[in-house]
């Protein structure tokens, strides 16, 4: 039921809910700092204990217990402990297609929501989110869980989201967009700054400046993020971490493991365990029927 403890002093656990098609994470007693990165999914999270310094949307914010965190797909963010306070954090990750389908069911129109603020301080919705998160970790099923999911999501989207495509406020310049597209298409390959410079038609220095200024992240960090997202897909399919490291473009399994934990907070093996365990449970239920 979820992933096992990683250390006695901390808990890192996750579960995939096949009914809602979302992931639920819990980090308890964690001191780890998370570098500037982004995800391809939405994140709806809250802090139970501990304060964190969060960098997002060009701001440095001090978050605290009771704060609601809302990240859009592709939105850069980073955080670290404030005065060495251990973190107790819970979140639900929602794929963009799942979010779009839910928004269509709730509002009756085709739209891709975009959260208009990243932090809601002292949110009244934490209690409902905490209960939904707990139901997912307990592997509960049925109407009550789905009911909570849709009612909570409706409230969050009505209060803190706008309908529309998730686009940059200012369209990326063509040279930077070309580099992003190339990094995405060739993420599993070894990529040189010379090649990126040629694609952009800029000197290496000016490419680094332009890319970082417009995306908020360096080309290498962008590449790492794309590789991690690809690795997550393969791990969910049950591919071994060693094979995933090679397929996703990491130099070796150690490098892959360190990068994965730095971005996701779980080791690749623990993350894979969530989905292998879920498939085994589903098979067992199928055999019983």
Q: For all residues of the chain together, what is the average pLDDT?
A: 90
At residue 4 the predicted structure's pLDDT band, cuts being 50, 70 and 90, is very low
Q: Is-contact 77 37, C-beta < 8 A?
A: yes
pLDDT score for 279:
60
**Both structure tokens of 65:** 């217990």
Q: Print the SS3 string covering 3-61.
A: CCCCECCEEEEEEEECCCCEEEEEEEEECCCEEEECCCCEEEEEEEECCEEEEECCEEE
The closest of 264, 163, 278, 168 to 217, measured between CA atoms, is 168
- Using CA atoms, how far residue 206 sits from 171, 172, 203, 222, in Å, is 18, 15, 5, 17
pLDDT score for 276:
80
In this structure, whether the domain defined by 174-274 belongs to CATH 1.10.10.60 is answered with yes
**Both structure tokens of 44:** 């709806």
Q: What string of DSSP letters covers the chain? A: --PPPSBTTBEEEEEEETTTTEEEEEEEEE---EEEE--SSEEEEEEEE--EEEEETTEEEEE-TT-EEEE-TT--EEEEESTTPPEEEEEEEE-HHHHHHHHHHHHSS----EES-SEETT-TTHHHHHHHHHHHHTT--SHHHHHHHHHHHHHHHHHHEE-S----SSPPPHHHHHHHHHHHHTTTS---HHHHHHHHTS-HHHHHHHHHHHHSS-HHHHHHHHHHHHHHHHHHTT--HHHHHHHHT-SSHHHHHHHHHHHHSS-HHHHHHHHHHHHHHHHHHHHH-
- Comparison of pLDDT for 18 and 8, the residue scoring more: 18
Could you identify the residue written with the tokens 């850069």? 76
* Predicted TM-score of the model (pTM): 0.86
At residue 281 the predicted structure's pLDDT band, cuts being 50, 70 and 90, is low
Q: Mean pLDDT lowest for which of 1-10, 46-55, 73-82?
A: 1-10
**Both structure tokens of 41:** 């999914």
Q: For domain 11-162, give the fold.
A: Jelly Rolls (2.60.120)
pLDDT score for 6:
46
- The mean per-residue pLDDT over the stretch 65-69 comes to 97
Is it the case that residue 226 has pLDDT exceeding 90? yes
pLDDT, one tens digit per residue, over 142-201 is: 899 999 999 999 999 999 998 654 444 446 789 999 999 999 999 999 999 999 999 999
pLDDT, one tens digit per residue, over 89-145 is: 999 999 999 999 999 998 887 778 999 999 999 999 999 999 999 999 999 988 999
For the chain, the domains span 11-162, 174-274
């Amino acid at each position: 039921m979820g992933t096992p403890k990683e250390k006695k002093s901390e808990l890192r656990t996750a579960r995939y809910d096949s009914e809602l098609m979302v992931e639920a994470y819990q980090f308890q007693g964690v001191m780890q700092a998370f570098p500037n990165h982004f995800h391809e999914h939405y994140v709806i999270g809250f802090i139970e204990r501990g304060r964190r310094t969060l960098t997002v949307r060009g701001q440095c914010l001090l978050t605290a217990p009771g704060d609601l965190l809302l990240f859009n797909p592709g939105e850069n963010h980073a955080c670290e402990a404030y005065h060495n306070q251990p973190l107790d954090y819970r979140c639900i990750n929602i794929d963009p297609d799942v979010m779009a389908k839910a928004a269509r069911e709730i509002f009756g129109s085709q739209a891709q929501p975009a959260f208009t603020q990243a932090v809601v301080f002292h949110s009244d919705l934490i209690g409902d989110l905490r209960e939904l998160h707990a139901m997912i970790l307990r592997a509960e099923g049925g109407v009550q869980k789905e009911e909570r999911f849709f009612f909570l999501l409706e409230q969050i989207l009505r209060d803190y989201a706008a309908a529309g495509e998730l686009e940059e406020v200012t369209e990326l310049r063509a040279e930077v967009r070309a580099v992003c597209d190339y990094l995405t298409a060739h993420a599993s390959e070894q990529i040189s700054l010379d090649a990126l410079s040629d694609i952009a038609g800029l000197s290496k220095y000016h490419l680094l400046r332009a890319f970082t200024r417009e995306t908020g992240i360096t080309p290498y960090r962008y590449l790492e993020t794309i590789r991690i997202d690809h690795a997550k897909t393969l791990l969910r399919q049950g591919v071994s971490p060693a094979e995933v490291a090679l397929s996703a473009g990491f130099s070796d399994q150690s490098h892959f493991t360190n990068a994965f934990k730095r971005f996701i907070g779980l080791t690749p093996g623990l993350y894979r365990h969530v989905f292998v365990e879920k498939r085994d449970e589903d098979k067992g239920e199928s055999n019983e029927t």
